[in-house]
Amino acid sequence: MSIYDIEVTQSNGTSYPLSNLKGRVLLIVNTASQCRFTPQYQALEKLHQKYAAKGLTILAFPCNQFAHQEPDTDDKIESFCQLNYGVSFELHKKIKVNGAESSKLYQYLKSQAKGILGTESIKWNFTKFIVNSDASHIERFAPSVDPMKLEGKIQDYLSIIQGEDA
Give me the active site residues, please.
Answer: 35
| Contact predicate 31/60, CB 8 Å | yes
For residue 57, report the phi and psi dihedrals to the nearest 5 degrees: -125, 125
Sequence-distant (≥ 6) Cβ neighbours of residue 111 within 8 angstroms: 120
Task: Work out the number of other CB atoms within 10 angstroms of the CB of residue 129.
Answer: 23
